[in-house]
Amino acid sequence: MSREFLQKALATDGFISFPPVADSIVQAVSERLAQRGFSPIPPDYADFLKLTDGLYFDGLEFLGAVAHPRPAKNYIFPDMSEINGGFVEYEFFQNCLIIGRISECFIAYDGGKNAFVLIDRINLCSQAEYSTFNDLLAAMLRLCNITV
């Protein structure tokens, strides 16, 4: 993922991003998630986390490796471990990894398909698939009327 692509998106009013995390943190979180049966963090999403450890814009959330307190909003932006932990017993999410949310969908990486997917939260069915994180991010930004 190009730094310029992300910087252009972050220049849009209303984007909230978080400080990047070190590779060692991404690796440790990835290993813990994989030990629990989830997909490890895919390399292109790991690269994103090294630029911004999470992102929020107008209902679009990309989760980070660590939680981020937002005291002014009395809210903690959750991390991947917290969100995925609620699904550890669901066979559907084995070898998947929820990396975000938008509207009524989870944004996930499906390790079995080697693809990023939008999953309907109610029916747990795939709504769209993207081969790279860049493709997914570009599509999500277009949904938010952001052109990059």
Tens-binned pLDDT, residue by residue, of the chain (148 aa):
557 767 777 777 888 889 999 999 999 999 999 999 999 999 999 999 999 999 998 889 999 999 999 998 899 999 999 999 999 888 888 899 999 999 899 999 999 999 999 999 998 888 899 999 989 988 888 887 776 6
Residue 75 is given by DSSP the state E
Q: CA-to-CA distance for 57 and 60, rounded, in angstroms?
A: 5
Question: Residue 65: helix, strand or coil by DSSP?
Answer: coil
Q: CA-to-CA distance for 37 and 142, rounded, in angstroms?
A: 32
List the domains of the chain with CATH numbers. Answer: 3-143 (3.40.1580.10)
pLDDT of residue 148: 62
pLDDT of residue 92: 87
pTM given for the model: 0.91
Q: CA-to-CA distance for 22 and 35, rounded, in angstroms?
A: 20
pLDDT of residue 11: 79
Question: Residue 38: helix, strand or coil by DSSP?
Answer: coil
